Protein backbone atom coordinates (compact mmCIF):
# COMPACT_ATOMS: atom_id res chain seq x y z
CA UNK A 1 0.00 0.00 0.00
CA UNK A 2 1.38 3.41 -0.99
CA UNK A 3 1.25 5.95 1.82
CA UNK A 4 1.06 9.64 0.92
CA UNK A 5 2.88 12.01 3.24
CA UNK A 6 1.57 15.55 3.57
CA UNK A 7 3.14 18.75 4.78
CA UNK A 8 2.03 19.81 8.27
CA UNK A 9 2.63 22.84 10.42
CA UNK A 10 1.10 24.24 13.61
CA UNK A 11 -2.01 26.36 13.22
CA UNK A 12 -0.99 29.94 13.91
CA UNK A 13 -4.44 30.90 15.26
CA UNK A 14 -4.44 28.08 17.79
CA UNK A 15 -2.56 30.05 20.44
CA UNK A 16 -4.84 33.05 19.97
CA UNK A 17 -7.85 30.78 20.54
CA UNK A 18 -6.33 29.62 23.83
CA UNK A 19 -5.71 33.23 24.83
CA UNK A 20 -9.30 34.23 24.03
CA UNK A 21 -10.55 31.37 26.18
CA UNK A 22 -8.32 32.16 29.16
CA UNK A 23 -8.97 35.90 28.95
CA UNK A 24 -12.71 35.21 28.89
CA UNK A 25 -12.65 33.14 32.07
CA UNK A 26 -10.45 35.76 33.73
CA UNK A 27 -12.90 38.51 32.71
CA UNK A 28 -15.68 36.52 34.39
CA UNK A 29 -13.52 36.14 37.49
CA UNK A 30 -12.69 39.87 37.64
CA UNK A 31 -16.07 41.26 36.53
CA UNK A 32 -17.10 42.48 39.97
CA UNK A 33 -13.67 44.01 40.66
CA UNK A 34 -13.72 45.81 37.31
CA UNK A 35 -17.28 47.08 37.70
CA UNK A 36 -18.61 45.01 34.77
CA UNK A 37 -22.13 43.71 34.24
CA UNK A 38 -21.89 39.94 34.72
CA UNK A 39 -24.94 37.93 33.65
CA UNK A 40 -25.52 34.19 33.95
CA UNK A 41 -26.61 33.40 30.40
CA UNK A 42 -26.56 30.01 28.71
CA UNK A 43 -25.36 29.94 25.11
CA UNK A 44 -28.67 28.69 23.78
CA UNK A 45 -30.49 31.65 25.32
CA UNK A 46 -29.68 34.40 22.89
CA UNK A 47 -26.27 35.33 24.25
CA UNK A 48 -26.27 38.67 22.46
CA UNK A 49 -29.55 39.85 24.03
CA UNK A 50 -28.07 41.54 27.15
CA UNK A 51 -25.51 43.37 24.96
CA UNK A 52 -28.01 46.22 24.63
CA UNK A 53 -27.47 46.97 28.33
CA UNK A 54 -23.95 48.25 27.73
CA UNK A 55 -20.47 47.52 26.41
CA UNK A 56 -19.44 46.28 29.86
CA UNK A 57 -21.69 43.18 29.63
CA UNK A 58 -19.94 39.85 30.22
CA UNK A 59 -21.86 36.54 29.94
CA UNK A 60 -20.98 33.73 32.32
CA UNK A 61 -21.82 30.79 30.08
CA UNK A 62 -22.09 27.55 32.08
CA UNK A 63 -21.36 24.90 29.46
CA UNK A 64 -17.78 25.84 28.49
CA UNK A 65 -17.05 26.33 32.18
CA UNK A 66 -18.46 22.88 32.99
CA UNK A 67 -16.37 21.39 30.18
CA UNK A 68 -13.26 23.19 31.44
CA UNK A 69 -13.83 21.82 34.93
CA UNK A 70 -14.18 18.37 33.33
CA UNK A 71 -10.68 18.80 31.93
CA UNK A 72 -9.37 19.01 35.51
CA UNK A 73 -10.33 15.56 36.89
CA UNK A 74 -9.34 16.34 40.48
CA UNK A 75 -11.40 19.55 40.73
CA UNK A 76 -14.22 17.99 38.72
CA UNK A 77 -14.44 15.13 41.22
CA UNK A 78 -14.87 17.64 44.05
CA UNK A 79 -17.57 19.47 42.11
CA UNK A 80 -19.69 16.47 41.10
CA UNK A 81 -19.48 15.07 44.64
CA UNK A 82 -20.58 18.44 46.07
CA UNK A 83 -23.59 18.42 43.74
CA UNK A 84 -24.46 14.81 44.50
CA UNK A 85 -24.19 15.57 48.24
CA UNK A 86 -27.08 18.02 47.70
CA UNK A 87 -29.24 15.14 46.51
CA UNK A 88 -28.84 15.52 42.74
CA UNK A 89 -28.49 12.39 40.62
CA UNK A 90 -25.18 11.11 39.29
CA UNK A 91 -26.65 10.61 35.82
CA UNK A 92 -27.45 14.32 35.40
CA UNK A 93 -25.56 16.43 32.88
CA UNK A 94 -21.95 16.57 34.04
CA UNK A 95 -21.61 20.16 32.82
CA UNK A 96 -24.44 21.04 35.20
CA UNK A 97 -22.96 19.05 38.09
CA UNK A 98 -19.53 20.61 37.57
CA UNK A 99 -20.95 24.14 37.44
CA UNK A 100 -23.29 23.67 40.39
CA UNK A 101 -20.61 21.94 42.45
CA UNK A 102 -18.16 24.76 41.82
CA UNK A 103 -20.90 27.19 42.85
CA UNK A 104 -21.80 25.19 45.99
CA UNK A 105 -18.12 25.02 46.98
CA UNK A 106 -17.70 28.72 46.14
CA UNK A 107 -14.49 27.81 44.31
CA UNK A 108 -13.73 29.03 40.81
CA UNK A 109 -11.50 26.89 38.59
CA UNK A 110 -9.38 29.90 37.66
CA UNK A 111 -8.93 31.18 41.19
CA UNK A 112 -10.88 32.87 43.95
CA UNK A 113 -14.56 32.72 44.83
CA UNK A 114 -17.24 31.63 42.40
CA UNK A 115 -18.43 34.67 40.37
CA UNK A 116 -21.95 35.92 40.99
CA UNK A 117 -23.96 37.48 38.18
CA UNK A 118 -26.58 40.23 38.49
CA UNK A 119 -29.30 38.19 36.77
CA UNK A 120 -29.82 34.92 34.89
CA UNK A 121 -31.43 34.09 31.53
CA UNK A 122 -32.01 30.58 30.24
CA UNK A 123 -34.18 28.44 28.01
CA UNK A 124 -35.38 24.85 28.12
CA UNK A 125 -33.16 23.35 25.42
CA UNK A 126 -33.11 19.99 27.24
CA UNK A 127 -34.20 18.45 30.52
CA UNK A 128 -31.07 19.68 32.32
CA UNK A 129 -30.94 23.10 30.69
CA UNK A 130 -34.37 24.02 31.95
CA UNK A 131 -33.24 23.70 35.58
CA UNK A 132 -29.54 24.64 35.18
CA UNK A 133 -29.86 28.40 35.59
CA UNK A 134 -33.07 28.25 37.59
CA UNK A 135 -31.10 26.73 40.45
CA UNK A 136 -28.23 29.17 39.83
CA UNK A 137 -30.64 32.10 40.18
CA UNK A 138 -32.16 30.62 43.34
CA UNK A 139 -28.80 29.81 44.94
CA UNK A 140 -27.30 33.23 44.12
CA UNK A 141 -30.56 34.99 45.03
CA UNK A 142 -30.63 36.93 41.76
CA UNK A 143 -33.49 37.64 39.30
CA UNK A 144 -34.05 34.93 36.70
CA UNK A 145 -35.89 34.80 33.37
CA UNK A 146 -36.84 31.60 31.55
CA UNK A 147 -37.40 31.58 27.80
CA UNK A 148 -39.50 28.99 26.04
CA UNK A 149 -38.17 28.24 22.59
CA UNK A 150 -39.72 25.27 20.74
CA UNK A 151 -37.37 23.51 18.34
CA UNK A 152 -39.37 21.69 15.70
CA UNK A 153 -37.35 18.76 14.32
CA UNK A 154 -37.23 18.29 10.59
CA UNK A 155 -39.86 20.92 9.84
CA UNK A 156 -39.81 24.15 7.92
CA UNK A 157 -39.61 27.20 10.11
CA UNK A 158 -42.93 27.93 11.71
CA UNK A 159 -44.00 31.59 11.60
CA UNK A 160 -46.08 31.19 14.76
CA UNK A 161 -43.01 29.90 16.61
CA UNK A 162 -40.92 32.81 15.32
CA UNK A 163 -43.48 35.36 16.51
CA UNK A 164 -43.80 33.55 19.84
CA UNK A 165 -40.02 33.78 20.39
CA UNK A 166 -39.83 37.43 19.24
CA UNK A 167 -42.53 38.38 21.76
CA UNK A 168 -40.58 36.66 24.55
CA UNK A 169 -37.31 38.36 23.60
CA UNK A 170 -39.01 41.75 23.63
CA UNK A 171 -40.50 41.04 27.05
CA UNK A 172 -37.10 39.88 28.32
CA UNK A 173 -35.52 43.19 27.26
CA UNK A 174 -38.10 45.12 29.28
CA UNK A 175 -37.46 42.79 32.22
CA UNK A 176 -33.67 43.36 32.02
CA UNK A 177 -34.22 47.13 32.00
CA UNK A 178 -36.31 46.78 35.13
CA UNK A 179 -33.94 44.55 37.13
CA UNK A 180 -30.75 46.45 36.17
CA UNK A 181 -32.08 50.00 36.07
CA UNK A 182 -30.34 50.48 32.72
CA UNK A 183 -31.79 51.86 29.50
CA UNK A 184 -31.56 49.39 26.62
CA UNK A 185 -29.69 50.44 23.47
CA UNK A 186 -30.95 48.85 20.23
CA UNK A 187 -27.82 49.91 18.32
CA UNK A 188 -25.65 47.86 20.69
CA UNK A 189 -28.01 44.91 20.19
CA UNK A 190 -27.68 45.27 16.40
CA UNK A 191 -23.88 45.31 16.56
CA UNK A 192 -23.83 42.25 18.81
CA UNK A 193 -26.35 40.42 16.59
CA UNK A 194 -24.38 41.18 13.43
CA UNK A 195 -21.18 39.91 15.08
CA UNK A 196 -23.10 36.76 15.98
CA UNK A 197 -24.56 36.27 12.49
CA UNK A 198 -21.24 36.70 10.71
CA UNK A 199 -18.96 34.86 13.15
CA UNK A 200 -21.19 31.77 13.24
CA UNK A 201 -21.54 31.81 9.44
CA UNK A 202 -17.74 32.00 9.10
CA UNK A 203 -17.38 29.13 11.55
CA UNK A 204 -19.58 27.03 9.24
CA UNK A 205 -17.37 28.08 6.28
CA UNK A 206 -14.32 26.86 8.18
CA UNK A 207 -16.01 23.52 8.86
CA UNK A 208 -16.88 23.13 5.16
CA UNK A 209 -13.18 23.41 4.29
CA UNK A 210 -12.60 20.19 6.21
CA UNK A 211 -14.22 18.32 3.31
CA UNK A 212 -10.84 18.73 1.62
CA UNK A 213 -8.48 15.76 1.31
CA UNK A 214 -6.18 15.99 3.22
CA UNK A 215 -8.19 17.60 6.02
CA UNK A 216 -6.63 20.91 7.13
CA UNK A 217 -8.01 20.55 10.68
CA UNK A 218 -8.61 17.73 13.14
CA UNK A 219 -11.12 17.47 15.94
CA UNK A 220 -8.76 18.19 18.85
CA UNK A 221 -7.78 21.47 17.14
CA UNK A 222 -11.40 22.28 16.34
CA UNK A 223 -12.28 21.98 20.04
CA UNK A 224 -9.93 24.86 20.77
CA UNK A 225 -11.08 26.95 17.81
CA UNK A 226 -14.82 26.70 18.36
CA UNK A 227 -14.87 27.96 21.95
CA UNK A 228 -15.33 31.67 21.05
CA UNK A 229 -18.47 30.78 19.09
CA UNK A 230 -19.96 29.39 22.31
CA UNK A 231 -19.24 32.12 24.84
CA UNK A 232 -18.20 35.17 22.82
CA UNK A 233 -19.92 35.03 19.43
CA UNK A 234 -21.46 38.49 19.92
CA UNK A 235 -18.08 40.18 20.34
CA UNK A 236 -16.12 41.98 17.57
CA UNK A 237 -12.97 40.20 18.76
CA UNK A 238 -14.57 36.86 17.95
CA UNK A 239 -15.54 37.97 14.45
CA UNK A 240 -12.01 39.23 13.81
CA UNK A 241 -10.59 35.96 15.12
CA UNK A 242 -12.73 33.79 12.85
CA UNK A 243 -11.80 35.88 9.83
CA UNK A 244 -8.16 35.10 10.65
CA UNK A 245 -8.90 31.40 11.09
CA UNK A 246 -10.80 31.25 7.79
CA UNK A 247 -7.93 32.90 5.91
CA UNK A 248 -5.38 30.55 7.48
CA UNK A 249 -7.42 27.40 6.79
CA UNK A 250 -8.01 28.48 3.17
CA UNK A 251 -4.23 28.85 2.84
CA UNK A 252 -3.73 25.37 4.29
CA UNK A 253 -6.19 23.94 1.76
CA UNK A 254 -4.53 25.75 -1.16
CA UNK A 255 -1.09 24.45 -0.14
CA UNK A 256 -2.23 20.96 0.96
CA UNK A 257 -1.11 21.54 4.54
CA UNK A 258 -2.71 18.72 6.49
CA UNK A 259 -3.77 18.16 10.07
CA UNK A 260 -1.82 14.88 10.04
CA UNK A 261 1.26 13.98 8.01
CA UNK A 262 -0.40 10.71 6.98
CA UNK A 263 -4.15 10.46 6.45
CA UNK A 264 -5.02 6.78 6.15
CA UNK A 265 -8.66 7.21 7.03
CA UNK A 266 -11.21 9.89 7.90
CA UNK A 267 -13.63 9.61 10.82
CA UNK A 268 -16.74 11.48 11.89
CA UNK A 269 -17.28 11.99 15.62
CA UNK A 270 -20.75 11.89 17.20
CA UNK A 271 -21.45 13.41 20.59
CA UNK A 272 -19.63 15.46 23.21
CA UNK A 273 -16.06 14.29 23.86
CA UNK A 274 -14.76 13.09 27.23
CA UNK A 275 -12.87 16.29 28.05
CA UNK A 276 -10.55 14.54 30.50
CA UNK A 277 -9.50 12.00 27.86
CA UNK A 278 -8.76 13.94 24.69
CA UNK A 279 -5.77 11.63 24.42
CA UNK A 280 -8.03 9.30 22.44
CA UNK A 281 -7.51 11.61 19.44
CA UNK A 282 -3.74 11.35 19.88
CA UNK A 283 -4.12 7.59 19.91
CA UNK A 284 -6.01 7.70 16.61
CA UNK A 285 -3.06 9.54 15.06
CA UNK A 286 -1.04 6.33 15.47
CA UNK A 287 -3.29 4.91 12.76
CA UNK A 288 -3.17 8.01 10.58
CA UNK A 289 -6.85 8.50 11.37
CA UNK A 290 -8.01 12.12 11.18
CA UNK A 291 -11.21 13.01 13.05
CA UNK A 292 -12.98 15.58 10.89
CA UNK A 293 -15.38 17.00 13.45
CA UNK A 294 -18.84 16.42 14.91
CA UNK A 295 -22.32 17.90 14.90
CA UNK A 296 -21.44 19.20 18.36
CA UNK A 297 -18.53 21.32 17.15
CA UNK A 298 -19.91 22.15 13.71
CA UNK A 299 -23.47 22.97 14.58
CA UNK A 300 -23.85 23.87 18.24
CA UNK A 301 -23.19 27.47 17.30
CA UNK A 302 -22.35 27.27 13.63
CA UNK A 303 -24.94 28.87 11.35
CA UNK A 304 -26.12 26.43 8.68
CA UNK A 305 -28.93 26.63 6.17
CA UNK A 306 -30.78 24.26 3.86
CA UNK A 307 -30.63 25.84 0.41
CA UNK A 308 -33.55 25.83 -2.07
CA UNK A 309 -31.70 23.43 -4.41
CA UNK A 310 -31.56 20.76 -1.67
CA UNK A 311 -27.94 21.35 -0.71
CA UNK A 312 -26.82 22.88 2.57
CA UNK A 313 -24.04 25.08 3.82
CA UNK A 314 -23.21 28.24 5.78
CA UNK A 315 -26.27 30.35 6.47
CA UNK A 316 -26.72 33.55 4.53
CA UNK A 317 -26.67 36.75 6.56
CA UNK A 318 -30.10 38.29 7.26
CA UNK A 319 -29.30 41.19 4.94
CA UNK A 320 -28.46 38.71 2.16
CA UNK A 321 -31.88 37.13 2.66
CA UNK A 322 -33.71 40.43 2.30
CA UNK A 323 -34.48 40.88 6.01
CA UNK A 324 -34.97 44.37 7.39
CA UNK A 325 -32.69 45.28 10.30
CA UNK A 326 -34.12 48.70 11.19
CA UNK A 327 -36.22 48.21 14.31
CA UNK A 328 -35.80 46.23 17.51
CA UNK A 329 -38.45 43.81 16.30
CA UNK A 330 -36.55 43.34 13.01
CA UNK A 331 -33.37 42.43 14.89
CA UNK A 332 -35.16 40.09 17.30
CA UNK A 333 -36.92 38.37 14.41
CA UNK A 334 -33.60 37.76 12.61
CA UNK A 335 -32.16 36.35 15.84
CA UNK A 336 -35.17 34.07 16.34
CA UNK A 337 -34.94 32.74 12.77
CA UNK A 338 -31.24 31.97 13.13
CA UNK A 339 -31.84 30.01 16.32
CA UNK A 340 -34.86 28.26 14.88
CA UNK A 341 -33.14 26.96 11.75
CA UNK A 342 -29.97 25.05 12.75
CA UNK A 343 -30.60 21.92 10.63
CA UNK A 344 -27.87 19.87 12.37
CA UNK A 345 -29.27 20.58 15.83
CA UNK A 346 -32.90 20.02 14.87
CA UNK A 347 -31.99 16.67 13.37
CA UNK A 348 -30.90 15.37 16.76
CA UNK A 349 -34.50 15.38 18.02
CA UNK A 350 -35.58 12.44 15.84
CA UNK A 351 -33.40 9.35 15.21
CA UNK A 352 -34.55 8.81 11.63
CA UNK A 353 -33.76 12.42 10.66
CA UNK A 354 -30.37 12.34 12.36
CA UNK A 355 -29.54 9.02 10.65
CA UNK A 356 -30.22 10.54 7.24
CA UNK A 357 -28.11 13.53 8.17
CA UNK A 358 -25.20 11.39 9.38
CA UNK A 359 -25.23 9.51 6.07
CA UNK A 360 -25.21 12.86 4.27
CA UNK A 361 -22.29 14.11 6.38
CA UNK A 362 -20.29 10.92 5.79
CA UNK A 363 -20.73 11.43 2.05
CA UNK A 364 -20.08 15.19 1.99
CA UNK A 365 -17.01 15.09 4.25
CA UNK A 366 -15.65 11.86 2.71
CA UNK A 367 -15.64 10.00 6.02
CA UNK A 368 -14.65 6.33 6.10
CA UNK A 369 -16.12 5.56 9.50
CA UNK A 370 -17.95 6.96 12.51
CA UNK A 371 -17.35 6.78 16.24
CA UNK A 372 -20.09 7.58 18.74
CA UNK A 373 -19.72 8.65 22.35
CA UNK A 374 -22.76 7.46 24.28
CA UNK A 375 -22.63 10.19 26.90
CA UNK A 376 -24.47 9.03 30.02
CA UNK A 377 -24.83 12.59 31.19
CA UNK A 378 -26.47 13.92 28.03
CA UNK A 379 -29.52 11.92 26.97
CA UNK A 380 -30.41 14.67 24.49
CA UNK A 381 -27.32 14.07 22.34
CA UNK A 382 -27.21 10.32 23.00
CA UNK A 383 -30.88 9.81 22.15
CA UNK A 384 -31.34 7.57 19.14
CA UNK A 385 -27.66 6.61 18.80
CA UNK A 386 -28.49 2.90 18.59
CA UNK A 387 -30.84 3.63 15.68
CA UNK A 388 -28.15 5.83 14.12
CA UNK A 389 -25.58 3.06 14.57
CA UNK A 390 -27.83 0.51 12.86
CA UNK A 391 -28.53 2.90 9.96
CA UNK A 392 -24.80 3.48 9.43
CA UNK A 393 -24.05 -0.24 9.64
CA UNK A 394 -26.82 -0.99 7.12
CA UNK A 395 -25.17 1.51 4.77
CA UNK A 396 -21.86 -0.32 5.17
CA UNK A 397 -20.15 2.42 7.18
CA UNK A 398 -17.86 1.07 9.93
CA UNK A 399 -19.11 2.46 13.24
CA UNK A 400 -18.39 2.03 16.96
CA UNK A 401 -20.14 3.23 20.13
CA UNK A 402 -18.27 3.72 23.39
CA UNK A 403 -19.89 4.61 26.71
CA UNK A 404 -18.68 7.38 28.94
CA UNK A 405 -19.40 10.88 30.16
CA UNK A 406 -18.35 14.29 28.89
CA UNK A 407 -17.08 15.59 32.20
CA UNK A 408 -17.22 12.81 34.80
CA UNK A 409 -14.19 10.55 34.64
CA UNK A 410 -15.84 7.88 36.78
CA UNK A 411 -18.10 6.89 33.89
CA UNK A 412 -15.49 5.96 31.28
CA UNK A 413 -12.95 3.17 30.86
CA UNK A 414 -10.01 4.48 28.84
CA UNK A 415 -8.88 0.93 28.08
CA UNK A 416 -12.32 0.07 26.68
CA UNK A 417 -12.32 3.16 24.44
CA UNK A 418 -8.91 2.32 23.00
CA UNK A 419 -10.01 -1.28 22.50
CA UNK A 420 -13.08 -0.08 20.55
CA UNK A 421 -10.84 2.13 18.42
CA UNK A 422 -8.54 -0.82 17.69
CA UNK A 423 -11.60 -2.83 16.65
CA UNK A 424 -12.79 -0.06 14.32
CA UNK A 425 -9.37 0.17 12.68
CA UNK A 426 -9.25 -3.60 12.24
CA UNK A 427 -12.71 -3.51 10.67
CA UNK A 428 -11.46 -0.86 8.21
CA UNK A 429 -8.22 -2.71 7.48
CA UNK A 430 -6.09 0.11 8.90
CA UNK A 431 -2.82 -0.74 10.67
CA UNK A 432 -0.78 1.40 13.02
CA UNK A 433 1.91 3.45 11.36
CA UNK A 434 5.47 2.29 11.86
CA UNK A 435 7.49 4.47 14.21
CA UNK A 436 4.46 6.41 15.57
* Local structure of 369: helix, strand or coil: strand
Q: What is the per-residue pLDDT across 52-61, written as a single tens digit (0 to 9) for each?
A: 999 999 999 9
Contacts of 91 (CB under 8 A, 6+ apart): 376, 377
In contact, 407 and 276? CB cutoff 8 Å:
yes
Range with the poorest average pLDDT among 7-11, 351-355, 411-415? 351-355
Q: At what angle do helices 94-105 and 62-70 cross, to 10 degrees?
A: 90
Q: What is the per-residue pLDDT across 194-203, written as a single tens digit (0 to 9) for each?
A: 999 999 999 9
DSSP character at residue 257: B
Mean pLDDT of all residues in 273-291: 95
Q: Which residues pair with 313 in a beta bridge?
A: 305
Closest CA to 96 of 117, 59, 125, 74: 125
Q: Is the pLDDT assigned to residue 1 strictly greater than 60?
A: no
Contacts of 405 (CB under 8 A, 6+ apart): 94, 274, 375, 376, 377, 411, 412
Percent of the chain with pLDDT over 90: 71
The two counts, helices (H) then strands (E), for the chain are: 18, 10
Q: How far is CA 201 from CA 50, 207, 332, 334, in A?
A: 21, 10, 18, 14
Residue 20 CB coordination number (10 Å): 20
DSSP character at residue 240: H
Give the span between the Cα atoms of 353 and 360, in whole angstroms: 11
pLDDT of res. 394: 97
| Residue 204 C-alpha from the chain's centroid | 12
Its pTM stands at 0.94
Give the span between the Cα atoms of 253 and 237, in whole angstroms: 24
Closest CA to 98 of 378, 345, 293, 302: 378
pLDDT of res. 163: 93
Q: What is the per-residue pLDDT across 296-329, written as a single tens digit (0 to 9) for each?
A: 888 877 888 878 777 788 999 999 989 989 999 9
Mean pLDDT of all residues in 25-45: 91
Q: Is the pLDDT assigned to residue 207 strictly greater than 70?
A: yes
pLDDT of res. 152: 66
User: Dihedral of the CA atoms 352, 358, 361, 363 (nearest 10)?
Assistant: -90
Domain at 14-182: CATH code: 3.40.50.11890
The domain limits of the chain are 14-182
pLDDT of res. 436: 62
pLDDT of res. 157: 63
pLDDT of res. 3: 80
Position 172 confidence tier, pLDDT thresholds 50, 70, 90: very high
Average pLDDT, the chain: 91
Amino acid sequence: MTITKYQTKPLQCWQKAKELRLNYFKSVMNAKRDGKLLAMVDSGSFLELPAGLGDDYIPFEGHPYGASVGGDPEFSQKCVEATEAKGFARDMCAYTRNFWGSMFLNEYLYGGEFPKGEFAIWRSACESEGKFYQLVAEHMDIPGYALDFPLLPGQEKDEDVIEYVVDQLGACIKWMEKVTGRKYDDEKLLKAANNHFESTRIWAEICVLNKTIPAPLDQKTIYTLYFPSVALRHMPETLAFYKEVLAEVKDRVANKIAALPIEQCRLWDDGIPPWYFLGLYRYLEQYGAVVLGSQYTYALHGAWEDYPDGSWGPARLPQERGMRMKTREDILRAIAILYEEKPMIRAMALPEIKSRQLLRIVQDWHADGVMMHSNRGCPGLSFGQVENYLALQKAGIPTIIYEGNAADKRELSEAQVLDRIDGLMEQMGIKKLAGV
